[in-house]
Amino acid sequence: GENVEQHPSTLSVQEGDSAVIKCTYSDSASNYFPWYKQELGKRPQLIIDIRSNVGEKKDQRIAVTLNKTAKHFSLHITETQPEDSAVYFCAAPQGGSNYKLTFGKGTLLTVNP
């Protein structure tokens, strides 16, 4: 089955700096890679996703890059703000499934004002 590794487990940055979180996956059939943000005590929410037919996708201050050859994808947050502080989870579908996501263990991002 799919194995998703996420690094780092914790990340602390100063407000205004950039943050990068990286995930690797094992199933070469995976073709959809979402990122979820979970604020403390809140529900996970999708913030950005990328499909395997593109290498990069941007949405304002966040971007995701995908390297299918190396089987890794990364979340980039620029000009970080305190409200970016949360746990971020990457995910990949298992066995090419369009429903069964395997999640990474999460990255706790702290943005210090």
Partner 1 sequence: GAGVSQSPSNKVTEKGKDVELRCDPISGHTALYWYRQSLGQGLEFLIYFQGNSAPDKSGLPSDRFSAERTGGSVSTLTIQRTQQEDSAVYLCASSVRDPNTGELFFGEGSRLTVL
* Residues contributing to the site for partner 1 (CB under 8 A): 4, 6, 32, 34, 36, 42-46, 49, 89, 91, 98-106
Question: Of 77 and 104, which CB lies nearer to partner 1 in the complex structure?
Answer: 104
**What residue spans of the chain are helical by DSSP H?**
none
Nearest distance in Å: CB 56, partner 1: 18
Query: At closest approach, how far in Å is the CB of 63 from partner 1?
Result: 18
Q: In sequence order, which residues have a C-beta less than 8 Å from that of residue 93 and are 6 or more positions away?
A: 2, 27, 30, 31, 32, 99, 100, 101, 102
- Supply 30's token pair: 């995976």
Nearest CB to partner 1, comparing residues 19 and 91: 91
